[in-house]
Amino acid sequence: MTTRIVELRQGILKKNDELARELRGRFEAAGVLVLNLVSSPGTGKTEFLQRTLKELRARGARAAALVGDLETDNDARRLAASGAPVRQINTHGICHLEAEMVGKHLEGWELGALDYLYIENVENLVCPSSYDLGERVRVALLSVTEGEDKPLKYPTLFNSADAAVITKMDIAEAVGFDRAAALKSLQAIRPGIRVFETSAKTGAGMEEWLGWLEKSASSL
Amino acid sequence: MHELSIVSSVVETVMESLEAYPGARVVEVRLRVGALASVVVESLEFCWGIAIEDTPLEGSRLVVTTVPLVMQCARRDQDVELEGLQSFRCPKCDEPCSDLRHGRELDIESFEIEESEIEKAGVKA
């Protein structure tokens, strides 16, 4: 009996990473800005995205969305009300989206005809951080009702984000939201992160967010 | 809780490589997991037992090495280890960290096999 060490030195999620790289190449070639939106349940991600899609369309931009949930197509139906093309991805128990799911749900879509593609991830602040979906921008969302220390509790995800969106700012005062503490915890985990303070209900902060999107899209 | 799908990917990868060593028994599989990889080592170990059942890896050990967080401090042009996951700034000069060198690893390093002499002779013949 002899023993032998077989060296592999490869990423465990190599298959996902390779697929994500392929997708990123396709997105770049098509000139579409792809954003991966990540948050915990109840952040108001769908409401925020609905308003974003609606306003982008009003400005003449072409935007589409993929929505991940364990079950139901409720979110896809809500988002489709904006007039944008939307597809639902049901993961049936899987706690995150993977590059393969994204690739499969893009079939038949002409990417070159889009300016923006939003991927609304499964509501979870842990697992989605490990899975590259080929996005250019990862956006972490947190609402004013969630606690200002959310980024400190979930550093792996917030550290991987390129931008952060604080939602439901219209009720910040009523729920005693400590804005300075929230900004401080975001900056501790991801120094220099761009933060947007928004309300999908009143439209506060949306102008700044949309301007940033347009700027990011034009730099593609 | 995506540890089971991570462990299943490991088993799949090892089994693919194992095709080159027919009849070999897997003794140990070594992983490198970064402090910021969003993975709980205890859960990986728990899931390992489930994932290797009825596979050629059954009975093998999982050995996980944790990789600390290391950032490149731009101000001092040096790699520094961060303590904990609550502040992403250089512990020496407070420079914000924008360049993480280590800590996101989620790698299969190697696996160890036992080959019987008969099987090896068989392969050669």
The answer to whether the CB of A182 falls within 8 A of the CB of A197 is: no
Smallest Cβ distance to A13: which of B9, B86, B89?
B9
Burial (CB < 10 A; 0-12, 13-18, 19+), residue A108, is exposed
Q: Report the distance separating Cα B46 and Cα B49, nearest Å.
A: 6
The residue among B70, B59, B68 whose CA lies nearest residue B111 is: B59
- The per-residue pLDDT for range B47-70, each reduced to its tens digit, is 999 999 999 999 999 999 999 999
Q: What ipTM does this complex have?
A: 0.86
**CA neighbours closer than 13 Å in the CB half-sphere of residue A121:** 31
The architecture CATH gives domain A14-218: 3-Layer(aba) Sandwich (3.40)
The answer to whether the CB of B90 falls within 8 A of the CB of B80 is: yes
The residue among A68, A123, A126 whose CA lies nearest residue A101 is: A68
Q: Which domains does chain B have, with CATH numbers?
A: 3-68+102-116 (3.30.2320.50)
Is the overall model pTM greater than 0.80, yes or no?
A: yes
Per-block mean pLDDT, blocks of 10 residues, chain B (125 long): 88 95 95 93 94 95 96 93 92 89 96 82 53
- The per-residue pLDDT for range A144-184, each reduced to its tens digit, is 999 999 999 999 999 999 999 999 999 999 999 999 999 99
Could you tell me which residues come within 8 angstroms of residue B4 by beta carbon, excluding any fewer than 6 positions away?
Answer: B47, B50, B51
Residue type, B84: G
CB within 8 Å of chain A, chain B residues 34-73: 36-39
Q: Residue ranges per domain, chain A?
A: 14-218
Distance from CA of A55 to the nearest CA of B (A): 32
| Cβ of residue A155 closer than 8 Å to a chain B Cβ | yes
